[in-house]
Amino acid sequence: MGLAPSGKRRQVAANPEETDTAAMTDEKTIRRVAINTGGGDAPGLNAVIRAIVLASIHRGWEVFGIENGYGGLLSDEPGGLIRLDREDVRGITHRGGTILGTTNRGNPFEWPVEGPDAAPRARDRADEVVAAFHEHDLDALIAIGGDGSLHIANELHQEGLPVVGVPKTIDNDLSATSLTFGFLTAVETATDAIGKLHSTAESHQRVMVVEVMGRNAGWIALFSGLAGTADVILIPEIPYDIDKVCAKIREREARGRHFSIVCVAEGATQIDGEVVMKTVPHGTGEQTRIGGIGEVVAREIADRTGKETRSLTLGHLQRGGTPVSYDRVISLRFGTAAVRCVERRDFGKMVALDPPDIRPVPLSQSLENIKTVPVDGDAVLTARALGVSFGD
């Protein structure tokens, strides 16, 4: 510890990134780093890529982007491994999507192949991905992903790849990080939509039901519902009773408020009910996908209250567009923190926001549970204090 000019012992803050060095892989010098952006996209991905590229070049490393998830490492799939230089990441901090392309059908452990009867099947191609990684003489993989992609990254780490994860998802449902990048932009988009629905709902004296994303977590619904002043917020963590939802709408009517806004998370369920799923077109490898609750809630409200009710599903609008400034900043911070992990050979970790710091946490730990909204947490209590109904 150094001495400050006053002669006093200077306080040196503990490095939040310091971890057990014995646990770190001590192998060859880092020279070539690969980036993967598999899974659903989220605003801020390009900012993470830019941060990784610039921080790596600064260290004299080369950086490569794997195109289209892990497909870029498989010779018979479209895309490849592309070198990313300073010029390739110029002006992309504010751009939505990923310059590398992505797919959420790119799990190398269950690679989709068409069976003889054109039915979708899966083949384990992880060995090919691992072999390609070594053939390309790569020293580290930075996997930017949500729950699914980080599970894959963790499995690849168990197969021996030196992996660092970066938490990406608009759902904000990864435990071990207080925030995932993309979430705040999705909230901004949903809040804007709820704001716009107010004027048309009020003019027509209607109930507007807006369905937002989030899978089995209610973060987007809660935050956008609060910010956009929805009257009812339905989240997976608090199963709802439709009669209570209607009671709230009637209570507003009685007060002369002839319109209401209901913000419902796609994963919300009625008490003792199930998540509403919709069928998806053939060829996607899935039969059903979460979604459709907005229409269900709207129909039930119209039937019970007799009020004209419309529903709107925001869908992928929430995943697109330019990241809000905080998502850009957190993405840049995550990207550079991941590079510092690589430099220390601190693999098998995910960089996590633990305000005010970014810390590496074991990848496996970050995947143990999904992070759901605490039902007695401050945000829910705030909404309740403001008169918001959760339908319970």
* Chain residues in the site for ligand F6P (CB under 6 A): 40, 104, 146, 169-171, 213-215, 266, 290, 319
**Residue (169 or 336) nearer to ligand F6P, CB:** 169
Write out the E strands in 3-119. 32-36, 62-66, 81-83, 111-114
**Residue (104 or 229) nearer to ligand F6P, CB:** 104
List all residues 6 or more positions away from 388 whose beta carbon is below 8 Å from its beta carbon: 225, 226, 230, 231, 232, 233
Smallest distance, ligand F6P to C-beta of residue 174, A: 10
Q: What is the DSSP string of 247-268?
A: HHHHHHHHTT---EEEEEETT-
Residue type, 6: S
Active site residue 192: no
Smallest distance, ligand F6P to C-beta of residue 346, A: 27
**Residue (248 or 371) nearer to ligand F6P, CB:** 371
- Collapsing DSSP to helix, strand or coil, 281 comes out as coil
The Cα 385–Cα 391 span in angstroms is: 14
Smallest distance, ligand F6P to C-beta of residue 356, A: 27
Find the catalytic residue in 147, 171, 231, 346. Answer: 171
**Residue (104 or 305) nearer to ligand F6P, CB:** 104
Smallest distance, ligand F6P to C-beta of residue 275, A: 10
HSE-CB at 364 with a 13 A cutoff on CA atoms is 6
Tell the residue number behind the tokens 């992996």, with chain if given: 163
Cα dihedral 66, 70, 74, 76, rounded to 10, equals: -100
**Strands of the 260-265 sheet, one edge to the other:** 232-234, 260-265, 207-212, 309-313
Smallest distance, ligand F6P to C-beta of residue 11, A: 42
Residue 341's CB is within 10 A of a number of other CB atoms, namely: 27
The Cα 160–Cα 156 span in angstroms is: 7
> Which stretch of DSSP H or E encloses residue 142?
strand 140-145
| CA–centroid distance for 135 within its chain | 31
**Residue (34 or 367) nearer to ligand F6P, CB:** 367
**Closest residue to ligand F6P in the complex (CB):** 213
**Residue (247 or 290) nearer to ligand F6P, CB:** 290
Smallest distance, ligand F6P to C-beta of residue 212, A: 8
Smallest distance, ligand F6P to C-beta of residue 265, A: 9
Cβ pair 311, 207 in contact under 8 A: no
Measured CA distances, 48 to 9, 36, 41, 71, 117 (Å): 38, 11, 12, 20, 41
**Residue (53 or 210) nearer to ligand F6P, CB:** 210
**Active-site residue numbers?**
171
